[in-house]
Structure 1
Amino acid sequence: MLARPLATYVSPLRTAHHRYCARRLISYTNRLPTSQQSIIRAIQFPTTFKSQPVTQPPRFPSFSTSSTIMSSDDAYMAFLNKANSDLNAGQGSAQGGGSVQTQAVDTSLNLPASLKNVEVYYVSDTDEPFEPVLLRWKGAEQGEWPSADDFSSLVSPNNDISQGVSTLSTSSFDPKKQYSAAIKAVREAVSSGSPVETDLKVYRVELTSTKLEYFVLALDSSEGGRVVGLRAKSVES
């Protein structure tokens, strides 16, 4: 069998390749069908892209930690100073913020017997017993009662508690007659006749807003003048 020339094989293949490429070219260049064109039109593409503005983070006022702490310290110190001034100036509170200790007995004087064994308690948050009072007061010889300033000097010579001193009658001090035995003992301490006729006065001393003392007193002209009586400590919350 005689071999065919190579050209007889190549020519038909080349022709078939050209026809295939021509069909592909036509398919890419021809217009799309109307149904497909409507799909393309439905897709809208922006002609230009606008950049979105950059959102700036919120700005907060600057502050100094040291100034904030200083402000807090100043406010705290102002609070402490006000509290101390209230204790010192308010209603009988003297230096020491309510730590004032009043004195009740001058040991150089003779204590009346009726005041030595008084078993009566003043009713408050603590229920303290009545204690003897015996202090030198020259005004007693003329029948003069101590003023608030005088009484502050008698019971608290080192601290002025006069702003917290006031006076009461025995009926105001004991409206329910709870302390009749104590009042009777004071009258007997100075009376030479009938104890009922002895004039008494109650000194109310407010040391703090809750700590008070009551002095049930009578004037006694003996030993150069003195005040005698009983003291009751009270805690009233």
Structure 2
Amino acid sequence: MSSDDAYASFLDKANEDPNAGRARPADKEPKATAQSKFSANAKQVPQKLVTAAKDRFYTSEADEPFVPVCFGLGKATSLPNEDEFISITDSEHSADSITILDPVDWDKQGSYKPLIDELQEASKGNDVRVYRVQVDSTRVEYWLVSTVDGNLLGYKAKAIES
């Protein structure tokens, strides 16, 4: 084989799809239910919220997608306090790690206004609140939620803030 043929063969091999023959990963679009570790309390998320979250990311050092979530409120009848929030979402974090914010203070630049507006509409005008969960020294979860029909409904996004 001439050196030109060997080089052409090398280039063909180098340009092959490295994932050829492997199973493709599952679709990474937000699902209509909360993440699987929350499945005990997870409820069906309205399709409008799933659609509104598509291609929306929380901007931080790691731009993460907004994931639609919905949980049954249990005994709570309004937006939960920190302890109730932990119970409703099956969070593994303590109440001390949670800070409750007003959406206007959380979104001072209006970057997430479409999500807030969609959530207010879906919750029939009920209050919207942000729960900031400090996971560790740099990782944070933001839960943009409201209540409707006995459910805690909204979005969750992860952030890196160092």
Normalising to structure 2: TM-score of the pair? 0.69
In 1, distance between residues paired with 2:137 and 2:74?
32
1:212 aligns with 2:107: no
* Residues 103 and 216 of structure 1: CA distance in aligned 2, closer, same or farther (over 3 Å): farther
From 144, 154, 158, the equivalent of 1:233 is 158
**Aligned equivalents of 1:181, 1:136: Cα separation in 2:** 24
In the comparison of the two structures, how many residue pairs are matched?
Answer: 126
How far is 1:108 from its partner?
A: 6.0
Q: State yes or no: 1:137 paired with 2:83.
A: no
- Which structure has more strand as a fraction of its residues? 2
Equivalent residue of 1:163, what SS? helix
In 2, Cα distance between equivalents of 1:147 and 1:178:
26
CA RMSD of the aligned region, Å? Answer: 2.3
Query: More helix per residue: 1 or 2?
Result: 1
- List runs of 5+ in structure 1 lacking aligned partners: 1-100, 192-196
Q: Measure, in 1, the Cα distance between the counterparts of 2:41 and 2:97.
A: 26
Cα shift readout 1:13-48 (whole Å, capped 9, x = no counterpart): xxxxxxxxxxxxxxxxxxxxxxxxxxxxxxxxxxxx
- Given the alignment of the two structures, is residue 147 of structure 1 paired with residue 81 of structure 2, yes or no? yes
Q: Letter of the 1:127 partner, please give it.
A: D
Equivalent residue for 2:43, pick from 106, 109, 113? 109
1:61-140 to 2 correspondences below 5 Å: 103=37, 109-117=43-51, 118=53, 119-139=55-75
Q: Alignment partner of 1:116: what SS?
A: helix
Query: Structure 1 residues 170, 127: closer, same or farther in 2, change over 3 A?
Result: same
1:100-139 deviation line (CA, Å, top 9, x unaligned):
x995666863321211122211110111011101011034
Select the structure of larger CA radius of gyration: 1
Q: Identify which range, 205-214 or 130-139, moves more after superposition.
A: 130-139
Deviation at 1:208, TM superposition (A): 0.5
Give % identity.
29
Tell me the TM-score normalised to structure 1 length.
Answer: 0.48
AA at the equivalent of 1:129? P
Contact 1:218/1:229, CA 8 A, preserved across alignment: yes
Give, in angstroms, the shift of residue 179 of structure 1. Answer: 0.7
Q: Which runs of 5+ in 2 are unaligned?
A: 1-34
* Alpha carbons of structure 1 residues 160 and 211: separation in structure 2 relative to 1, 3 Å: closer
Alpha-carbon distance between aligned partners in 1 of 2:98 and 2:140, rounded to the nearest angstrom:
10
Q: Deviations over 1:65-85 (max 9, x none)?
A: xxxxxxxxxxxxxxxxxxxxx
What SS does the corresponding residue of 1:149 show, helix, strand or coil? helix
- The equivalent of 2:128 in structure 1 is 200
Does the 8 A contact of 1:204 with 1:215 survive in 2? yes
Q: Is the 8 A contact 1:105 1:134 kept in 2?
A: no
Distance 1:201 1:131 in 2: 16
8 Å CA contact 1:105, 1:133 repeated in 2: no
1:170 to 2:86 alignment:
no
1:15-94 matched pairs, under 5 angstroms:
none
The alpha carbon displacement at 1:232 in A equals 1.1
